[in-house]
Amino acid sequence: MNCARCGAQLPNGAASCPACGEAVQYAQPNVYQQSYVQYQQQLGNPNGYPGSYQTPYYTRPVSNGEDSFLHSLGELPRAFLDSFVRPGEVLRGMVERRDRFSGLIVTVLVLALSFFGGMVLMRGFLGVLLKAIGALSGAQLAGTAASMNQGVSYIAGRVGPMTGGIVALCQLIAMVVPAAVFMVYICAICRVAFSWELFSGFVAVISLNTVAVSLLAMAASLLTPWLALGVILCGMAVSYVKACSMLSLITARPDSQLFVGKLICVVAGIALTLILGSVAGGLLMRGVISRVMMLLSNVGSLI
């Protein structure tokens, strides 16, 4: 490095130029362009992890109350917007301040919205089902549109809470399973030390968009349930894209080395989510279907 004033060669770490006395201004590194592993290598290994493992990302001193529930709640709106353009930075910010609440807050919020969304979605499917029954049988199930809506509301009120609970359970599977698959790859294959802050932050970042997706799906289901399903599938795609985009920053490996790992994580995450969701949701939906069929058998008296 040379002096900006006289051009003399500067010794490493010099505070001023030995030739002209000009104070040396060192450029501050942009830590957000570094990977998590590179950042931790600068901090050392104070926790004594084996050399083959990367150190965790929370060795920076944290002030009292910095990881409080209210602080995490206040950071979520900004984290929601940033998670679409720089999810890796959002994740590292959560982990560095030992944020243990964001993942929990996002999970509870998404599950609550999924519960209400499931009830709204069930009402839309019932409307489509009754119209299909009327079209196929040629029978007029209701004298007026108002009476039809009344019958749909009656049936939806009986099965809506059960359906909402099933949708919330399936949503929980869709959030936790992909995150667990990626964590296994990151920690077991890429040898990055596991921490609950990392797992919680990872779940929060890939699930933040699900908050907006749940609201959009509820609005879309008022038009047609098929549109709501399309919105949900798009939301899942965005979550996997964000998860893949964070791997390079977490593991300090180039994307070319992570391509196969990303592909395996995406395929395994989708497959396990579909299997577990189908088993759990399918078993529980039997009761809902039986209840719906029982109510439909009396549809003439209802509407």
Q: Report the distance separating Cα 79 and Cα 223, nearest Å.
A: 31
Assessment of whether the complete model's pTM goes beyond 0.95: no
**Given this model, what pLDDT does residue 57 score?**
40
Instruction: Give the model confidence (pLDDT) of 177-197 as tens digits.
Output: 999 999 999 888 888 888 888
The answer to whether 117 and 167 have CB atoms below 8 angstroms apart is yes
Pick the range with the lowest mean pLDDT from 22-36, 64-78, 188-202, 251-265. Answer: 22-36
For the chain, domain boundaries: 1-31, 94-302
Residue for token digits 């499917």? 125
Which of residues 62 and 10 earns the better pLDDT score? Answer: 10
pLDDT band at 230 (very low <50, low <70, confident <90, very high): confident
Which of residues 153 and 247 earns the better pLDDT score? Answer: 247
Residue for token digits 């995406």? 266
Q: Report the distance separating Cα 87 and Cα 209, nearest Å.
A: 11
Q: Report the distance separating Cα 64 and Cα 145, nearest Å.
A: 60
Name 12's Cβ contacts closer than 8 Å, sequence gap at least 6.
Answer: none
Instruction: Give the model confidence (pLDDT) of 194-206 as tens digits.
Output: 888 888 888 888 8
**Given this model, what pLDDT does residue 30 score?**
42
pLDDT band at 170 (very low <50, low <70, confident <90, very high): confident
Residues 269-289: what's their mean pLDDT? 84
The answer to whether 169 and 280 have CB atoms below 8 angstroms apart is yes
